[in-house]
Amino acid sequence: MHDARIPGAPESPRTPDRPQEDTAVSTQKTAAPPTAAADRERPSQTAKVQVSKLTKSFRRRKETVQVLHGIDLGIADGELLVLLGPSGCGKTTLLRCLVGLERPDGGRVDLAGRTVVDTDARTFVQPNRRDVAMVFQNYALWPHMDVARNVAYPLKSRGLKDLLNGGRVEEVLKLVQCDHLANRYPPELSGGQQQRVSLARALASNPGLLLLDEPLSNLDALLRIELRAQLRSLHRRLGFTGVYVTHDQEEALALGTRVAVMREGRIEQIGDPEEVYRRPATAYVADFLGARNRLEAEVDDLGNAELAGQTLRGFFRPGMPGSYTLLFRDQDLELRGAGSDEGAVGRAWLTGGTVHEVLPGGNHNEHVVRVNGIRVWVGIPASAERFAPATDVELGIDPRRTLCYAADGNLVEGWTHGS
């Protein structure tokens, strides 16, 4: 038995201590009961990647920690799916299960119709036999090889002589605008150049699936934006199938064909970026995507809402009594001076606010405001009036830009007039 290796990886990952198999693929598939969640997570019957009931746990000290809880996921051919979530949510573990660096406890993974993991059938295909390439967070370039040899490495290791002799190395280096660096060594390159070379190496063998594990997180802000745009352009041009892991919300929304928000080893919501951003299915998703301001509301049968110690009459539709959580993004709230009658039409105003801090931020100035002891963040355009600390203010709420969630954390729609 030999160590598994992904071409270009700096060291050979070791698989857990279980019997190693590389069995023939069974053509029999287990039908799963159709559910709304399953339908949403499977884009088509011809999905390039199909993950079914995937579980994974780790032994930490004397405890077993469950990291993945029955993941069901389908990825269409040519789709770039972004796995988004905080540290520890399971997104990188899921990625490592796809490439074969982790052996799942249960479930099944099919890549382009080929079963590479089936725990029931004891099938586990090693990473170097999966037609998968990976871009690592730390670039993982060989320091003793120049750029051209780094990019050529997966072609040599897989015996792809036609690509190697057909100018593929030069082609992918041109794609990432690094052809002039072919004779340099990784220590001579900037972080952005190293990451582009790492991407070129991953693309060199035309992999069936490209995996990217937070590839831009080590770069400065402006370079991240530049490489984000370049990666988006490459995906549109080449149409590769990929899975991209990040904790950066802006990165996920900019790059993903679809975005899957993960929470504690489960997929909380999956959809196109606009849908996930505009209609977060749960309060968790809304909070993670920037709606960090929270007000609890008690609503009577007439639609009057008690929040922040004040009553907003007719704020809800009649006939919806109960407890609700209202979430707002910073830029969706407004401020005006106490006692002022200025402000946009259609806003509800909470009085008794005080500005505690102002944080300049380029296009927006963040105002930290307390309303009856509740802290909220309000993003005011830099071109608008800036309120000094200790200023008494009123907080403006636009119902059309307010996200409402029931006690169980799920999105409530049609709760306000005109919706």
Contacts of 133 (CB under 8 A, 6+ apart): 6, 7, 8, 154, 201, 202, 203, 205, 207, 209, 210, 211
Here the contacts of 308-314 (C-beta below 8 Å, separation 24 or greater) are: 308/350, 308/352, 308/371, 308/372, 308/374, 309/352, 309/372, 310/350, 310/351, 310/352, 310/372, 312/348, 312/350, 312/397, 314/417
| Predicted local confidence at residue 315, as pLDDT | 95
* Segment 297-327, tens digit of pLDDT: 999 999 999 999 999 999 999 999 999 999 9
| Predicted local confidence at residue 419, as pLDDT | 59
Q: What angle (nearest 5°) sits at the alpha carbon of residue 138, between those of residues 144 and 224?
A: 120
Measure the CA–CA gap between 401 and 419, rounded to whole angstroms.
11
Phi, psi (rounded to 5 degrees) for 32: -100, 145
* Segment 158-180, tens digit of pLDDT: 888 888 888 999 999 999 999 99
Residue with the larger pLDDT of the pair 136 and 3: 136
pLDDT band for 55, please (50, 70, 90 cuts).
very high
Mean local confidence (pLDDT), 28-47: 40
Structural domains in the chain? Answer: 36-278 (3.40.50.300), 292-405 (2.40.50.140)
Measure the CA–CA gap between 319 and 299, rounded to whole angstroms.
9
Angle between helices 168-175 and 221-238 (to 10 degrees): 130
Amino acid code (one letter) for 44: S
Measure the CA–CA gap between 150 and 138, rounded to whole angstroms.
15
Phi, psi (rounded to 5 degrees) for 142: -75, 115
| Predicted local confidence at residue 2, as pLDDT | 37
* Three-state DSSP state, 39: helix
| Predicted local confidence at residue 158, as pLDDT | 86
DSSP symbols for 234-246 = HHHHH---EEEEE
Mean local confidence (pLDDT), 331-343: 90
* Segment 340-390, tens digit of pLDDT: 888 767 899 999 999 999 999 888 999 999 999 999 999 999 888 889 999
| Mean pLDDT, the chain, whole residue set | 88
Angle between helices 147-157 and 168-175 (to 10 degrees): 130
Contacts of 364 (CB under 8 A, 6+ apart): 330, 331, 379, 380, 381, 382
> What number of CA atoms fall less than 13 Å from residue 415's CA on the CB side?
26
Q: Pick from 83, 110, 111, 77: which is nearest to 238 by CA?
A: 77
Mean local confidence (pLDDT), 279-290: 97
Amino acid code (one letter) for 418: G
| Predicted local confidence at residue 47, as pLDDT | 73
Measure the CA–CA gap between 349 and 345, rounded to whole angstroms.
11
User: What burial class does residue 350 get, using C-beta atoms within 10 Å of its C-beta: 0-12 exposed, 13-18 middle, 19+ buried?
Assistant: buried
Beta strands in 15-77 (DSSP E): 49-60, 63-75
Inform me whether the pLDDT recorded for 16 exceeds 90: no
Both tokens of 142, joined, read 């060989």
Measure the CA–CA gap between 226 and 58, rounded to whole angstroms.
37
| Predicted local confidence at residue 117, as pLDDT | 98
Question: Helix (H) and strand (E) counts for the chain?
Answer: 10, 21
* Segment 110-137, tens digit of pLDDT: 999 999 999 999 999 999 999 999 999 8
pLDDT band for 418, please (50, 70, 90 cuts).
low
What is Dmax (Cα atoms) for the chain? 77
| Predicted local confidence at residue 26, as pLDDT | 33
* Segment 221-259, tens digit of pLDDT: 889 999 999 999 999 999 999 999 999 999 999 999 999
Both tokens of 378, joined, read 């309000």
Q: Pick from 336, 330, 353, 319: which is nearest to 401 by CA?
A: 330
